[in-house]
A and B are shown apart, each in its own frame.
Chain A
Amino acid sequence: MTGEANLWSRRLATDFRGALVVLAVTALAPLLVRDTYTLGILIVSMYFALLALGWNLLAGFTGQFSLAPAAFAMLGAYTPALLAYHLRAPLTLGLPAGIIGTAILGWLLGRVVLRLKGPYLALTTLSFAEIARMMIANSHEFTRGDQGLNVSAVTANRLGYYYLFLGLLALVVVLVFELMRSRVGRFWLAIRDDETGAESRGIDVVRYKTLAFALSCAICGAAGALYGTFSQLVSPELGLLLQTGLVIAMVVIGGIGTLTGPLFGALLVYLTSEWMRGVGNIQMIVFAALVILFARFFREGLWGFATRLRARGAAERVP
């Protein structure tokens, strides 16, 4: 990108418009798709889009490569389930508790990994994710282990769920956009590019990194909490590393460090994954190969590639 279009505020505004187009197309999809199975697939793809946006906030915008987004979705899903199972707490209490609980856990994890970078950060968050999953899987008396827990639904209407997920997705997109155009977002980008440089300019790296962890985990927790009520069963499988791998593939293919990329990438990858079920269970092989290809040749992902083409086209039109 060249000229003023390369200013962060301009790039973000273009990105936000792209995200709104994806949201608008998703909002209109039920006009064409009526069967509950396909609607269900679209709902799950929106669940993954929420995880992708949450993970991208941490890895793409702040440069903190965590391997725990699926674990936080699992913890967000288990909170209302456990509150209902042990205390008969209603979802009106359980769902906010899931979001607040994962935000607090994310903040704590952020404090623990504050000084870690690169592979050490990734391994520590991976260890946290596996410990959380194993604890839930093995605490039979408290969590019923691998059997999972039943959760009541928010609504019996699948279309209602579709728009609930879409509403949450739109809320997260707007929230991330507003954060990224404020000084908070600028400070996250500065930390991503050079933590030492950011600190020396007067940016409180500790504060903004832990804030990114807390918000990212809260978004994943919110996605998990709502997904638990949709599937009406929560189990440790929600926190499998494979799920995190899928989220990373979605963000890398869509465009890391952008708003539209993770959103579009999640919908594209999950829908393709469902389509490939008919071909055989080879989705992860294909996506892993695509991640290698994108990391090597298209680091900006599909959204970055599209904006580069658009900028080139605009430059060629200038007489």
Chain B
Amino acid sequence: MSLLRAEGLTKHFGGVAAVENLTFAVEEGEVLGLIGPNGSGKTTALNMLSGFLAPDRGTVEMGAEVVTRLRPVALARRGLLRMFQVTRLFSRLSAFDNLLTAGMARGQREGEARKRAAALLEELTLTAVMYLDAGQLSGGQRKLLEFGMCFIAPPRLALLDEPFAAVHPVMRETMADFIQRRNAQGHSFLVVSHDMPVVVELCQRAVCMNAGRLLSVGPTREVLKDPAVIEAYLGSGSHA
């Protein structure tokens, strides 16, 4: 049984099909990449998977449970954690308090959340800025902090929307190492990214979307060699 399965997900905005009949699954313990050119429907798909958008048709299953209409808070409590393309932090609270609040929201006691927060800040190289308000952090630090908030309690599945976009290479490395370490421990990830070298490095499998539809799915290197995927990224005639 898959950890998360999308079956026939469809979402239209007016007359535009943002996502059309999308079916794929995330397996336990894998890092799955969700790739595709701009406007291909990746974020809309992620919004439906994380409960922020109700699909017009189709279902989302988490293990044996149908979770299609559940609110984000209910999904978060089941361990489905989301990182946003544009960071969503508690900007007037310190970085440490952001992690503490996220831990308490996941049911941790304050003492436990404090220990986890301190350890995560160190692992993500944010200890030096732990007392600064989240709103005062740089773009990369904000990404790292939101990333850490997903892991204050181990998630069943982390949905990461463009985690590496506009992030300094050193921070990108920190994040990629973190994902690899957690994946080696059996944690599962769905990573939406435009950064192909990182996708190849991290993701065992990839799903490629174009114009709201599933274009290709399989081992990452094979998906990237798929002529349909190359055409979607580079335009027709590019593989001739």
Contact = CB atoms under 8 A, between A and B. Distances in A.
Interface in A1-39: 2-8
Contact of B90 (A4, A183, A190): A190
Q: Most chain-B Cβ atoms within 10 A of its Cβ — which of A6, A194, A197?
A: A197
Interface in B88-111: 88-94, 96-97, 100-102, 104-107, 110
B186 to A, nearest CB: 21
Nearest to A257: B92
B105 A197 contact: no
Contacts of B72: 199-200
A203 interface: yes
Interface in A250-289: 257
A11 to B, nearest CB: 9
Contacts of A187: 101, 104-105
A274 to B, nearest CB: 34
Range for the number of chain A residues in contact with chain B: 20 to 34
Given A186-B100, A199-B71, A7 B106 contact: no
Contact of B73 (A5, A8, A194, A199): A199
Q: Most chain-B Cβ atoms within 10 A of its Cβ — which of A3, A183, A205?
A: A183
A151 B90 CA distance: 46
Instruction: Summarize A's interface: helix, strand, loop or mixed.
Output: helix
Contacts of A197: 84, 88-90, 146
Interface string A172-187: 0000000000010011
A192 B94 CA distance: 14
B192 interface: no
A202 B131 CA distance: 23
A189 interface: yes
Given A8-B93, A8-B97, A194-B90, A203 B132 contact: no
Interface in A36-60: none
A201 B97 contact: no
Contact of B91 (A193, A202, A204, A257): A193
Nearest to A205: B73
A201 to B, nearest CB: 5
Interface string B63-86: 000000001110011000110100
B91 A203 contact: no
A196 interface: yes
B85 to A, nearest CB: 12
Given A193-B89, A193-B91, A194-B89, A201 B101 contact: yes
B149 interface: yes
A196 B94 contact: no
A7 B97 contact: yes
- Which 7 A-B residue pairings sit nearest by Cβ, starting from the closest? A197-B88, A202-B76, A193-B90, A202-B105, A183-B104, A186-B101, A201-B105
Interface of A: 2-8, 183, 186-187, 189-190, 192-194, 196-205, 257
Interface of B: 50, 52, 71-73, 76-77, 81-82, 84, 88-94, 96-97, 100-102, 104-107, 110, 131-133, 146, 149
27 contacts: A4-B131, A6-B132, A7-B97, A8-B94, A8-B97, A183-B104, A183-B110, A187-B105, A190-B101, A190-B105, A193-B93, A194-B88, A194-B89, A194-B90, A196-B52, A196-B84, A197-B84, A198-B90, A199-B71, A199-B72, A200-B76, A200-B81, A201-B101, A201-B102, A202-B102, A203-B73, A203-B105
Given A197-B88, A201-B76, A202-B102, 20 more contacts: A5-B131, A6-B94, A6-B132, A8-B93, A183-B104, A183-B110, A186-B100, A187-B101, A193-B90, A194-B89, A194-B90, A196-B52, A197-B89, A197-B146, A200-B72, A201-B101, A201-B106, A202-B76, A202-B106, A205-B73
